C-alpha cells in the first residue's frame, strides 16, 4: 500500500513539473561531473591534495544538488515562502558571523566554517532575497508605515551592504540586476527606472574608487598594460589552444597555470580539452533551459510566480553571462561560478534551490492527475 502511494506521488510529481527544465538541469549536473574528472586532478596536485580530491567532493555534491532540486520542486507556495524566509535570515546571520570568524581568500571574506563544513552564505542569500522580494511585491495588503517598494529597497540596501563589505562586487551586480528587474516587472514607473539605473551607476562608480580589487580589474580590462592580466591571458590562450575538438580530457596543460581553473575559469578548461564544439553545445543547453523557463513563465497568471521565477531566471542567466563573458575577455574578470559546471558545493546547492523553486512554482495542478489505465 505504501509502495503504491509512493508510486502515485512520484507519478503525479513527474507529470506536474516541466520535465524539460528538470532533464536539462540534471544533464548540466552530469556534465559538471564529467568536466570535474578532466579539469580538477592536476589542480588538486598543485595544491598538494590527493589527485581526485575535487572529483570526489564534486561527486558528493552532485546527488545532493539533485536531491535539493527534487525536494524544492515539491514545495507549495506557502512552503517556499516560509523556508526561504528562514534561509534569508540564517544567511544574514552567517554573513555577519563571517566578518568575525570567516575564512579570508584573496582579500575577500566570503566563506565560513561551521561544525567542520565550509560554505558561502551569500550564495543562499542571493536566492532567498529574490523569493522574499517577490513575496513582498505580491502582497495585496499595503504596509501601514511604508510602501512595499520602499521596504524592499531597504532590504536591498542591507543585502548590498553586506555583500560589498566582504567584498564581492560581482555578487552585488547580480543581486542588483535581479532586484531592479523585479522592480520593473512589478510596475515601476519609467522615471523610477531611470532613477534606479542612476543609483546603480553611482554605487558602481563608488565601488571603483573605494574597492581596490574592483579598480584593479576594471583598469586592467580597459588597459591590459596597466597591470597583471595573467588570468585573462591564460584563459584566452586555453580557449585558442582547444580549437574545434580540443586536446582531449585531461590533456590540457594551460589549466595547470590558470588560477581558479576549476571554478571561475572552468569554461576555459572546457574549451581547451573538449574544444569549441562542446563549449557551444553546453552554451546551447543553457540557452534551451532558460528559453523553456521563459516559455513556462508566459502562461503564468499568479503575480508571485511571475515575479519570483523572473527574478530567479534573471539571476541564473546573469551568472552564466558574467562567468563566460569574463572568461573570454568581454568583461572584467570576476569571481562568479558557472552554474552546475564549476566546482563548489555552495554554488551548486544554491542553483539547485533556484531551479527547484522554478519547478515548484510552474507545476500544473497535479491534484487533478490520477493514475489511469493508460499507464
- Total residues found in the chain within this entry: 375
What crossing angle do the helices spanning 169-185 and 190-210 adopt, rounded to 10°?
A: 170
CA-nearest of 345, 283, 291, 344 to 313 is 291
Please tell me the predicted confidence (pLDDT) of residue 369. Answer: 46
Angle at 187 between CA 184 and CA 188, to 5 degrees: 60
Residue 261 vs residues 59, 97, 268: alpha-carbon distances, Å: 18, 29, 7
Q: pLDDT 10s digit of each residue in the chain, 375 long? A: 677 777 777 788 888 889 999 999 999 999 999 998 877 887 788 778 888 888 888 999 999 999 999 999 999 999 999 999 999 999 999 999 888 877 777 667 778 887 777 889 999 999 999 999 999 998 877 666 668 888 899 999 999 999 988 888 889 999 999 999 998 888 877 777 788 788 888 888 888 888 888 888 888 888 777 766 788 888 888 898 888 888 888 787 887 778 778 888 899 999 999 999 999 999 999 999 999 999 998 888 899 999 999 999 999 999 999 999 999 888 888 878 999 999 888 999 999 999 999 999 998 865 544 444 443
Please tell me the predicted confidence (pLDDT) of residue 129. Answer: 96
Please tell me the predicted confidence (pLDDT) of residue 88. Answer: 96
Nearest-angstrom CA–CA distance, 313 and 89: 22
Q: What pTM was computed for the model? A: 0.91
Please tell me the predicted confidence (pLDDT) of residue 145. Answer: 62
Q: Are 62 and 32 in contact (CB under 8 A)?
A: yes
Cell 531551479, located at residue: 355
Please tell me the predicted confidence (pLDDT) of residue 351. Answer: 96
Cell of 42: 592536476
- Evaluated on CA atoms 75, 118, 338, 62, the torsion sign reads negative
Amino acid at each position: 500500500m505504501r509502495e503504491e502511494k509512493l508510486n502515485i506521488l512520484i507519478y503525479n510529481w513527474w507529470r506536474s513539473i516541466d520535465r524539460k527544465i528538470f532533464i536539462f538541469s540534471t544533464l548540466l549536473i552530469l556534465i559538471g561531473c564529467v568536466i570535474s574528472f578532466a579539469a580538477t586532478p592536476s589542480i588538486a596536485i598543485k595544491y598538494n591534495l590527493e589527485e581526485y580530491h575535487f572529483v570526489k567532493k564534486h561527486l558528493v555534491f552532485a546527488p545532493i544538488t539533485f536531491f535539493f532540486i527534487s525536494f524544492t520542486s515539491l514545495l507549495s507556495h506557502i512552503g517556499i515562502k516560509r523556508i526561504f524566509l528562514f534561509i534569508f535570515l540564517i544567511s544574514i546571520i552567517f554573513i555577519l558571523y563571517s566578518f568575525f570568524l570567516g575564512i579570508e581568500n584573496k582579500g575577500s571574506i566570503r566563506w565560513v566554517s561551521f561544525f567542520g563544513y565550509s560554505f558561502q552564505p551569500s550564495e543562499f542569500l542571493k536566492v532567498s532575497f529574490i523569493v522574499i522580494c517577490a513575496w513582498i511585491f505580491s502582497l495585496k495588503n499595503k504596509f501601514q508605515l511604508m510602501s512595499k517598494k520602499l521596504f524592499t529597497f531597504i532590504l536591498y540596501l542591507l543585502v548590498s551592504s553586506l555583500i560589498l563589505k566582504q567584498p564581492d562586487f560581482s555578487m552585488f551586480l547580480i543581486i542588483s540586476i535581479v532586484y531592479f528587474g523585479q522592480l520593473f516587472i512589478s510596475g515601476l514607473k519609467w522615471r523610477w527606472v531611470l532613477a534606479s539605473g542612476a543609483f546603480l551607476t553611482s554605487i558602481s562608480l563608488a565601488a571603483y574608487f573605494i574597492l581596490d580589487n574592483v579598480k584593479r580589474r576594471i583598469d586592467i580590462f580597459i588597459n591590459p598594460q596597466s597591470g597583471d592580466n595573467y588570468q585573462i591571458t591564460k584563459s584566452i590562450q586555453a580557449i585558442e589552444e582547444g580549437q574545434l575538438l580540443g586536446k582531449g580530457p585531461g590533456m590540457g596543460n594551460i589549466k595547470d597555470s590558470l588560477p581558479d581553473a576549476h571554478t571561475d575559469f572552468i569554461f576555459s578548461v572546457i574549451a581547451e580539452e573538449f574544444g569549441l564544439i562542446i563549449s557551444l553545445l553546453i552554451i546551447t543547453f543553457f540557452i534551451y533551459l532558460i528559453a523553456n523557463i521563459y516559455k513556462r513563465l508566459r502562461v503564468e497568471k499568479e503575480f508571485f510566480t511571475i515575479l519570483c521565477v523572473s527574478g530567479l531566471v534573471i539571476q541564473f542567466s546573469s551568472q552564466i553571462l558574467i562567468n563566460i563573458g569574463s572568461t573570454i575577455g568581454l568583461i572584467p574578470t570576476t569571481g562568479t561560478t558557472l552554474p552546475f559546471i564549476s566546482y563548489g558545493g555552495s554554488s551548486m546547492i544554491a542553483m539547485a534551490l533556484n531551479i527547484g523553486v522554478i519547478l515548484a512554482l510552474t507545476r500544473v495542478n497535479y491534484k487533478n492527475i490520477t493514475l489511469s489505465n493508460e499507464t
